[in-house]
Amino acid sequence: MKRRDLLAMPLAAGLAGAAGERSLRRHITQRPLAVTMWDFSWLERRWPGAGYEDWDVALGELKQRGYDGVRIDAYPHLVQAGAGKTWELLPHWWFQDWGAASRCRVRVQPELNQFLKRCREHGLCVGLSTWFRQDVDDTRMKIGGPAELAAVWKSTLDSIAAEGLLDTLLYVDLCNEWPLSVWAPFLAKGHTRASAEGVRWMREAIEPLRQSYPGLDYTFSFTSEYATFREQDVSMLDFLELHLWMTHFSDFYKRVGYAYERYDQKGYDNLARNGARLYRENEAHWRSRLEYGVEQLAVWAEVAKKPLITTECWALVDYKDAPMLPWDYILELCELGVRRASATGRWAAMATSNFCGPQFRGMWREVDWHRRMTDIIHAGKLPVGLGG
């Protein structure tokens, strides 16, 4: 049977097969998974007090909170260019607590495989992704087409397979929030996912990986072009990895005065002055916008007949521990998102927020809250074709 025929099959048939079950089906059996995003923090934030200096401590605390897996940056372009080389990375921002807010040096292998082994020991699966972090030589810009994108990932998977660690992988996300230029600067200006060129990139990047590693599930994660989802060809993806926040479906950030400033404090100053107040003035409105977003993406999964995973989500896109930045309303929105998403029966795995990591102490310390949220996720129904 040809691949395009398989893609047209119902979800249950496409993911079933005792001997040839792919990674989602192997890890997602009886219930949805609770997952978190540790992005490039797992490797970059290893100085004293940064949260990931002792992986066993961090992973043990994650397991204690009820989580089943993590999504991390595998730095595939750096693996291909020199897996054992020490790379100097430039800061992607100054005012966020993901990764390092100043220059740092990392080595991807054997550290990546060591981290995967630690996850296996803690009973955690791993979703691989990449934010294509910028090193001083801007190695990521050598990716000139989908063949090169596939090649950097094949090198990475080869290095993982060499140590027998493929079974730890939940999936491979070829690029975070495709095709945003902030994460994929090698794309032509104006590149859209819904265009013929956008479809070609996704299809031609995934297909060679399927041929080399057919036991894995592949996707590109998204956070844009949601209004046109019915017109988009996502047939080449094994599942949807959709990121959504209340701010996607409202003018909250505009009214707060936050514009994703990467190297300017004014955005966080405005958020500190206005964020909690604006939310409390009309909680019902902001909550309804999040509920609307959850329902829209659940419909996309239904229309596409694909499982849905979300690893970044629910309240605000950017937040951190700082004066005048309370966590209470963030926790409230995140709980609403978890409950509403779980109730749809469309999610195979989901996060409780994109702040579920030890560096975000205001959220990480809420152990009972995490346990309640992961219990809700685990109690949800799986999409048709997964589990059981």
Average pLDDT by stretches of 10, the chain with 388 residues:
31 35 94 98 98 98 98 98 98 98 98 98 98 98 98 98 98 98 96 94 98 98 96 97 98 98 97 98 98 98 97 98 98 98 98 98 98 98 74
User: Residue 373 burial (CB < 10 Å; 0-12/13-18/19+)?
Assistant: buried
CA-based radius of gyration for the chain: 20
Tell me the C-alpha distance between 181 and 204, whole Å: 19
Whole-number Å distance between alpha carbons of 293 and 105:
38
The answer to whether the beta carbons of residues 225 and 191 sit under 8 Å apart is no
C-alpha span between 378 and 260 (Å, rounded): 33
**Alpha helices of 237-366 — where are they, by DSSP H?**
252-256, 266-281, 283-304, 328-344, 361-364
Q: Is 11 exposed, middle or buried (0-12, 13-18, 19+ CB in 10 A)?
A: middle
Backbone angles phi, psi at 131, to 5 degrees: -105, 5
In the prediction, which pLDDT does 384 show?
78
Q: Where are the alpha helices (DSSP H) in the chain?
A: 3-8, 11-15, 23-27, 41-44, 55-64, 76-82, 111-121, 146-161, 196-212, 252-256, 266-281, 283-304, 328-344, 361-364, 367-379
Question: Cα(80)–Cα(100) distance, rounded to whole angstroms?
Answer: 22
3 state SS of 52: coil
Residues in the chain: 388
pLDDT of residue 20: 60
Contact between 243 and 294 (Cβ < 8 Å) = no
What's the 3-state SS for 192-206?
CCCCHHHHHHHHHHH
Angstrom distances, CA of residue 262 to CA of 118, 153, 186: 32, 28, 20
- The rounded distance, in Å, linking the Cα atoms of 366 and 153 is 36
- As a dihedral over the C-alpha atoms of residue 193, residue 231, residue 220, residue 333, rounded to 10 degrees, the angle is 110
Kindly report the number of other CB atoms within 10 A of residue 230's CB atom. Answer: 9
CB atoms within 10 A of CB 281: 9
Residue 21: the pLDDT is 85
Q: If we measure between CA atoms, which residue out of 203, 235, 205, 212 comes closest to residue 166?
A: 212
Phi–psi pair at 69, nearest 5 degrees: -165, 170
Burial of 193 (0-12, 13-18, 19+ CB in 10 A): buried
Query: What pTM was computed for the model?
Result: 0.93
What percent of the residues of the chain are helix, what percent strand, and what percent coil, each to the nearest 5? 45, 15, 40
CATH 3.20.20.80 given to domain 3-379: yes
